[in-house]
A and B are shown apart, each in its own frame.
Chain A
Amino acid sequence: MSESKFVYVTYIRTTPEKLWQALTDSEFNRKYWFGCYQESEWKQGAEWKILGSDGRLYDSGEVLEIDPPRRLVLKWRNEWLPELKADGWSRCVFEIETDGELTKLSVTHTTERPSLFIEKVSTGWPKILSSLKTLLETGRALPRTDQPKA
């Protein structure tokens, strides 16, 4: 198969509602996502983007599916680096499930063709999602992820 795919699963001591908020709220995003934040009206068909702490546009796309607090599907393209933008559209699926007092988060990020972009996000997601778990469980994000990349 010639697609590129990154899958990450983690379990967080939180509720699906809090996790949903952490994933979609701009102010919350900034604390664990290298100072970046998303902007969207968070409804199907709405525009979606990721902005850096200095306001530059990193990624853009569209909300394809939204079912709070369980499922979010984004159409996602990098806008910042020409070689990543050239990879075209990716699809990112967030799935949230409850397992007792635990919340399971699965992130699946794919492109239909082999892509450098998925290679890049494969190193970024573990940092962002580890920091998100730490922030939700301890109130403080991990080092480096709490500020813009140097």
Chain B
Amino acid sequence: MAESKFVYVTYIRTTAERLWDALTRPEFTRAYWAETIQHSKWTPGSAWEICVPDGRVWDSGEILEVDHPRRLVLTWRNEHFPEMKAEGFTCLTYEIEPFGDDAVKLMLTHEIAIPGSKVIAAVSNGWPAVLASLKSLLETGEALSAMTKWKDCA
């Protein structure tokens, strides 16, 4: 199959609204996603980027679909590593649905239509830690300690 794809599903005791905020708002992402923040107007066609604490743009792209608080699709290209940037734009999809009375299911799909992508290999390693930290933050009020500081090699 001529594509690279990472899929991860997690269940979190929170609401869809709160999870949406946690995925998009700087006051949340700083806490669980290694001090990074995302800039976007969060409307289809608007620009999107992830910045690391010193202000450098690490990844950038464009918002493709927004269906608050259920579905968010964006394009994503790494801007920091030349060999990853050369692969071009990946596509990231977040899907949120209710699970039981007081929890939600989050499914994340990150893909690109080329085999053996370095970007997808890198994010496959990173997403489980980011999402575990997000889940801990929403459920306990505290992110995972290993994910609270930016490390440049990350």
Chain A interface mostly helix, strand, loop or mixed? mixed
Report yes or no: A137 in contact with B140, Cβ–Cβ below 8 A.
yes
Given known A99-B146, A100-B145, A143-B103, contact A11–B129 (CB-CB < 8 A): yes
Report yes or no: B135 in contact with A130, Cβ–Cβ below 8 A.
yes
Given known A126-B11, A137-B139, contact A102–B103 (CB-CB < 8 A): no
Interface size on B, residues (CB 8 A): 22
Output the nearest chain A residue to B11 by Cβ-Cβ distance. A130
Report yes or no: B146 in contact with A142, Cβ–Cβ below 8 A.
no
- Chain A neighbourhood of B139, CB < 8 A: 134, 137-138
Given known A11-B144, A100-B146, contact A142–B132 (CB-CB < 8 A): no
Given known A11-B129, A127-B11, A131-B11, contact A137–B136 (CB-CB < 8 A): yes
Report yes or no: A143 in contact with B135, Cβ–Cβ below 8 A.
no
Please tell me which one of the listed residues B8, B13, B129 contacts residue A134 in the complex, with CB atoms under 8 A apart. B13
Please tell me which one of the listed residues B8, B9, B99 contacts residue A143 in the complex, with CB atoms under 8 A apart. B99
Chain B interface mostly helix, strand, loop or mixed? mixed
Report yes or no: A101 in contact with B11, Cβ–Cβ below 8 A.
no
Report yes or no: A11 in contact with B146, Cβ–Cβ below 8 A.
yes
7 nearest CB pairs, A to B: A143-B100, A130-B11, A11-B132, A126-B9, A9-B128, A144-B100, A10-B132
Which residues of B are interface residues toward A (Cβ below 8 A)? 8-13, 99-103, 128-129, 132-133, 135-136, 139-140, 144-146
A-B CB contact pairs (8 Å), 28 listed: A8-B128, A9-B128, A10-B132, A11-B128, A11-B144, A11-B146, A12-B132, A13-B136, A13-B144, A100-B145, A100-B146, A102-B145, A126-B8, A126-B9, A126-B10, A127-B11, A131-B11, A133-B135, A137-B139, A137-B140, A138-B139, A138-B140, A142-B13, A142-B100, A142-B103, A143-B101, A144-B100, A145-B11
Known: A101-B145, A138-B139. 6 other contacts (CB 8 A): A100-B145, A130-B10, A133-B132, A143-B13, A143-B101, A143-B102
